[in-house]
Amino acid sequence: MKRISLFLLILAIQFAAGQTMKIATYNIYFLDDGISAERKESLQTVIRELDADVIACEEINNPAALRNIVGDTYQIAMIDDTSEVQEVALLVREPFNIVSQRYVFPDTLYDFEFPRSRDLLEVTVEGYNREFVFLVHHAKSRRGGREKNDPLRNGASKLILRHLQSEEMAGKNVIVLGDFNDNPDDRSLNILEYGDPDAPAGIDKTEDT
Protein backbone atom coordinates (compact mmCIF):
# COMPACT_ATOMS: atom_id res chain seq x y z
CA MET A 1 0.00 0.00 0.00
CA LYS A 2 1.28 3.45 -0.86
CA ARG A 3 2.16 5.43 2.25
CA ILE A 4 2.43 9.16 2.74
CA SER A 5 5.60 8.62 4.75
CA LEU A 6 7.42 9.15 1.49
CA PHE A 7 11.13 9.26 1.96
CA LEU A 8 11.45 11.43 -1.12
CA LEU A 9 8.73 13.53 -2.74
CA ILE A 10 9.14 16.09 -5.52
CA LEU A 11 6.81 18.82 -6.75
CA ALA A 12 7.34 21.66 -9.23
CA ILE A 13 5.33 24.89 -9.03
CA GLN A 14 5.18 27.40 -11.87
CA PHE A 15 4.34 31.05 -11.18
CA ALA A 16 4.98 32.69 -14.57
CA ALA A 17 6.99 32.10 -17.71
CA GLY A 18 10.47 31.06 -16.64
CA GLN A 19 9.58 31.26 -12.93
CA THR A 20 9.35 27.89 -11.22
CA MET A 21 10.02 26.50 -7.77
CA LYS A 22 10.90 22.83 -7.44
CA ILE A 23 10.33 21.54 -3.92
CA ALA A 24 11.04 18.18 -2.31
CA THR A 25 10.95 16.44 1.03
CA TYR A 26 13.56 13.88 2.03
CA ASN A 27 13.89 11.78 5.18
CA ILE A 28 17.64 11.14 5.30
CA TYR A 29 17.55 8.68 8.23
CA PHE A 30 19.70 9.74 11.17
CA LEU A 31 22.09 11.98 9.28
CA ASP A 32 25.09 13.08 11.30
CA ASP A 33 28.44 14.55 10.30
CA GLY A 34 30.32 11.28 10.82
CA ILE A 35 28.88 9.28 7.92
CA SER A 36 30.98 7.13 5.62
CA ALA A 37 32.38 8.46 2.35
CA GLU A 38 30.16 6.00 0.49
CA ARG A 39 26.97 7.24 2.12
CA LYS A 40 28.01 10.85 1.63
CA GLU A 41 28.52 10.26 -2.09
CA SER A 42 25.15 8.50 -2.37
CA LEU A 43 23.31 11.34 -0.62
CA GLN A 44 25.04 13.93 -2.77
CA THR A 45 23.95 12.03 -5.87
CA VAL A 46 20.33 11.94 -4.71
CA ILE A 47 20.25 15.66 -3.91
CA ARG A 48 21.99 16.56 -7.16
CA GLU A 49 19.48 14.51 -9.16
CA LEU A 50 16.59 16.00 -7.23
CA ASP A 51 17.72 19.39 -8.50
CA ALA A 52 15.19 21.03 -6.16
CA ASP A 53 15.17 24.67 -5.11
CA VAL A 54 13.78 23.88 -1.66
CA ILE A 55 14.18 20.59 0.21
CA ALA A 56 12.60 19.75 3.57
CA CYS A 57 14.85 17.30 5.44
CA GLU A 58 13.97 15.03 8.34
CA GLU A 59 16.09 13.11 10.87
CA ILE A 60 19.03 15.52 10.82
CA ASN A 61 21.42 15.57 13.77
CA ASN A 62 22.91 19.03 13.25
CA PRO A 63 23.53 21.69 10.58
CA ALA A 64 27.10 20.49 10.06
CA ALA A 65 25.75 17.13 8.91
CA LEU A 66 23.80 18.84 6.13
CA ARG A 67 26.62 21.21 5.24
CA ASN A 68 28.86 18.16 4.82
CA ILE A 69 26.48 16.97 2.09
CA VAL A 70 25.39 20.13 0.27
CA GLY A 71 28.45 22.36 0.64
CA ASP A 72 27.67 25.96 -0.31
CA THR A 73 24.95 25.06 -2.81
CA TYR A 74 22.12 25.55 -0.31
CA GLN A 75 21.32 27.82 2.61
CA ILE A 76 20.27 25.86 5.69
CA ALA A 77 17.39 26.71 8.01
CA MET A 78 17.60 24.64 11.17
CA ILE A 79 17.27 25.33 14.89
CA ASP A 80 19.75 22.93 16.44
CA ASP A 81 19.24 21.36 19.84
CA THR A 82 22.33 19.39 20.83
CA SER A 83 20.21 17.04 22.95
CA GLU A 84 18.04 16.03 19.97
CA VAL A 85 19.24 13.60 17.27
CA GLN A 86 16.24 13.77 14.91
CA GLU A 87 15.50 17.31 13.83
CA VAL A 88 14.02 18.92 10.73
CA ALA A 89 15.63 21.42 8.39
CA LEU A 90 15.01 23.28 5.16
CA LEU A 91 17.51 23.63 2.32
CA VAL A 92 17.09 26.65 0.03
CA ARG A 93 19.09 27.62 -3.04
CA GLU A 94 19.18 30.64 -5.34
CA PRO A 95 17.14 32.42 -6.64
CA PHE A 96 15.40 31.87 -3.29
CA ASN A 97 16.72 33.08 0.06
CA ILE A 98 15.92 32.40 3.70
CA VAL A 99 14.41 35.41 5.47
CA SER A 100 13.64 33.97 8.91
CA GLN A 101 13.13 30.75 10.83
CA ARG A 102 11.43 29.80 14.07
CA TYR A 103 9.69 27.02 15.93
CA VAL A 104 5.92 27.46 15.93
CA PHE A 105 5.13 25.61 19.17
CA PRO A 106 8.14 26.04 21.50
CA ASP A 107 6.02 26.39 24.65
CA THR A 108 5.99 23.38 26.98
CA LEU A 109 2.20 23.53 26.70
CA TYR A 110 2.61 21.68 23.39
CA ASP A 111 5.09 19.05 24.52
CA PHE A 112 2.58 16.23 24.07
CA GLU A 113 1.99 16.95 20.37
CA PHE A 114 5.55 18.17 19.69
CA PRO A 115 7.82 16.43 22.22
CA ARG A 116 11.32 17.69 22.97
CA SER A 117 12.59 19.66 19.94
CA ARG A 118 10.39 17.82 17.47
CA ASP A 119 8.60 21.06 16.75
CA LEU A 120 7.04 22.48 13.60
CA LEU A 121 9.73 24.49 11.80
CA GLU A 122 8.51 27.63 10.06
CA VAL A 123 10.81 29.19 7.47
CA THR A 124 10.05 32.33 5.49
CA VAL A 125 11.64 32.29 2.03
CA GLU A 126 11.69 35.00 -0.63
CA GLY A 127 12.15 34.76 -4.38
CA TYR A 128 10.63 36.11 -7.61
CA ASN A 129 9.40 39.13 -5.60
CA ARG A 130 7.24 36.83 -3.48
CA GLU A 131 7.36 35.49 0.05
CA PHE A 132 6.64 31.89 0.92
CA VAL A 133 6.15 30.29 4.32
CA PHE A 134 7.35 26.69 4.62
CA LEU A 135 6.19 24.52 7.50
CA VAL A 136 8.32 21.40 8.01
CA HIS A 137 6.75 18.58 10.02
CA HIS A 138 8.00 15.13 11.03
CA ALA A 139 5.00 13.21 12.34
CA LYS A 140 5.36 10.61 15.08
CA SER A 141 5.79 7.12 13.66
CA ARG A 142 3.37 4.26 14.31
CA ARG A 143 5.84 2.53 16.62
CA GLY A 144 3.97 1.56 19.77
CA GLY A 145 0.59 1.25 18.06
CA ARG A 146 -2.36 3.46 17.19
CA GLU A 147 -3.81 3.57 20.69
CA LYS A 148 -0.65 5.24 21.89
CA ASN A 149 0.16 7.41 18.88
CA ASP A 150 -3.16 8.53 17.37
CA PRO A 151 -3.84 11.21 20.01
CA LEU A 152 -0.34 12.64 19.52
CA ARG A 153 -0.44 12.60 15.72
CA ASN A 154 -3.99 13.93 15.44
CA GLY A 155 -3.26 16.57 18.04
CA ALA A 156 -0.23 17.77 16.10
CA SER A 157 -2.28 18.00 12.90
CA LYS A 158 -4.97 20.01 14.69
CA LEU A 159 -2.36 22.46 15.96
CA ILE A 160 -0.84 22.80 12.49
CA LEU A 161 -4.31 23.41 11.04
CA ARG A 162 -5.04 26.02 13.70
CA HIS A 163 -1.82 27.79 12.77
CA LEU A 164 -2.66 27.62 9.05
CA GLN A 165 -6.09 29.12 9.71
CA SER A 166 -4.83 31.85 12.02
CA GLU A 167 -4.93 35.55 11.16
CA GLU A 168 -1.14 35.47 11.17
CA MET A 169 -1.13 33.18 8.12
CA ALA A 170 -3.98 34.89 6.27
CA GLY A 171 -3.06 35.79 2.70
CA LYS A 172 0.35 34.11 2.86
CA ASN A 173 1.73 31.53 0.44
CA VAL A 174 2.10 28.55 2.79
CA ILE A 175 3.57 25.17 1.88
CA VAL A 176 3.52 22.25 4.33
CA LEU A 177 6.25 19.66 3.81
CA GLY A 178 7.63 16.75 5.77
CA ASP A 179 7.42 13.08 6.59
CA PHE A 180 3.86 12.30 7.69
CA ASN A 181 4.60 8.66 8.46
CA ASP A 182 1.27 7.21 7.33
CA ASN A 183 -1.25 6.34 4.64
CA PRO A 184 -2.85 9.28 2.81
CA ASP A 185 -6.29 8.39 4.24
CA ASP A 186 -5.12 8.50 7.86
CA ARG A 187 -7.06 10.90 10.07
CA SER A 188 -3.98 13.00 10.84
CA LEU A 189 -3.60 13.64 7.10
CA ASN A 190 -7.31 14.20 6.50
CA ILE A 191 -7.37 16.90 9.17
CA LEU A 192 -4.88 18.88 7.12
CA GLU A 193 -6.21 17.96 3.68
CA TYR A 194 -9.84 18.84 4.44
CA GLY A 195 -9.07 21.72 6.77
CA ASP A 196 -11.32 20.14 9.40
CA PRO A 197 -10.11 19.28 12.93
CA ASP A 198 -12.94 16.73 13.19
CA ALA A 199 -12.20 14.99 9.89
CA PRO A 200 -12.43 11.18 10.20
CA ALA A 201 -10.04 8.64 8.78
CA GLY A 202 -10.80 7.13 5.38
CA ILE A 203 -11.16 8.23 1.78
CA ASP A 204 -13.73 10.91 0.98
CA LYS A 205 -15.75 9.40 -1.90
CA THR A 206 -18.08 12.35 -2.43
CA GLU A 207 -17.83 14.03 -5.82
CA ASP A 208 -15.99 17.32 -6.06
CA THR A 209 -18.20 20.32 -6.73
Amino acid 102: pLDDT: 97
Which residues 6+ apart lie within 8 Å of 104 measured at CB? 119, 120, 121, 122, 135, 163
- Separation of alpha carbons 74 and 26, rounded Å: 15
Amino acid 204: pLDDT: 74
Closest CA to 186 of 134, 136, 149: 149
Amino acid identity of residue 83, one-letter, is: S
Q: Give pLDDT < 70 ranges for the chain.
A: 1-11, 17, 144-145, 205, 207-209
- What superfamily does domain 8-194 belong to in CATH? Endonuclease/exonuclease/phosphatase (3.60.10.10)
